[in-house]
């Protein structure tokens, strides 16, 4: 199969790779770029564990062709911490015990990040709506919802 060149920014770093035409973004991120933070769960867009941010929008990387991301700005959970300091969402997920097996966590965090970037002061209903495309087997969702609300509060405190 013909290889196609793909070039994009991944967590602020320029990346370029020749990929099989039709490769999903998930496969390219994990197998070519070594970023295993997006997880392959259902691989058909129902579980949300592969969620990444492409040009500010939440995208299911298992259904996104890498070729369509040429020139894009891509963010994953692996790029959230800076200089060893955790992102407020990562900190809040730890503090609120919002992960057990952890498989859904990167997708949850990216979904929450897109929410908080657009709406720094969300209601509980806003959070539930934002996370509605992500499933979790372990936590019962409540600790995750609490973590997102906690992160929003800590963001607004830092801004004040």
Partner 1 sequence: MAIRRGRGVAAVNYPTGMNLGGDPSQALVHSTPTGNFMVTLSSVDLGQGLKQVMAQICAETIGVKTEQVIIDTADTDTGPHCMGTFASRGTHRIGNAVIQAAKEARQVMLEVAAEALEVDAGDLETDGEGNIHVKGAPQKSISIFDTALMAHFKLGRSISGRGMFLVPRSYPEVETGAMKPSTCYAHACTVAEVDVDDETGEVTVVSIKNVFEIGRALNPKMVEQQLVGGSWMGISHALYETTEPYYPARDHAGTDFNEYLMPGPGDIAPTEIVVLERPAEDGPYGAKGPGEMCANPQIPALANAIFDAVGVRIDMMPITPERILRALKEQRATAH
Q: Is 76 within 8 Å of 54 (Cβ atoms)?
A: no
Q: Is 20 within 8 Å of 5 (Cβ atoms)?
A: no
Q: Among the candidate windows 31-39, 82-90, 115-123, 133-141, which touches partner 1 by CB under 8 A?
A: 133-141
Count the site residues for partner 1 by CB under 8 A: 27
Residues 26-65 that bind partner 1 (CB under 8 A): 42, 44, 46-47
Q: Could you give the string, one character per residue 83-122, with x where binding to partner 1 holds by CB under 8 A and - elsewhere? A: --------------x-xxxx--------------------
Q: Among the candidate windows 11-19, 20-28, 58-66, 132-140, which touches partner 1 by CB under 8 A?
A: 132-140
- Provide the binding-site residues for partner 1, judged by CB under 8 A: 42, 44, 46-47, 97, 99-102, 127-129, 131-145
């Amino acid at each position: 199969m013909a290889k196609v060149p793909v070039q994009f920014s991944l967590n602020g770093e320029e990346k370029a790779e020749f990929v099989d035409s039709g490769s999903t973004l998930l496969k390219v991120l994990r197998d070519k770029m070594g970023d295993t933070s997006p997880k392959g769960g259902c691989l058909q867009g129902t579980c949300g564990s592969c969620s990444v941010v492409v040009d500010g929008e939440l995208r299911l990387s298992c259904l996104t062709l890498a070729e369509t991301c040429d020139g894009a700005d891509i963010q994953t959970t692996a790029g959230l911490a800076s200089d060893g300091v955790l992102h407020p969402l990562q900190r809040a997920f730890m503090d609120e015990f919002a992960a057990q097996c952890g498989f859904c966590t990167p997708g949850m965090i990216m979904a929450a990040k897109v929410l908080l970037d657009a709406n720094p002061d969300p209601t509980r209903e806003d959070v539930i709506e934002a996370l509605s495309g992500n499933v979790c087997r372990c936590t019962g969702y409540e600790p995750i919802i609490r973590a997102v609300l906690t992160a929003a509060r800590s963001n607004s405190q830092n801004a004040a």
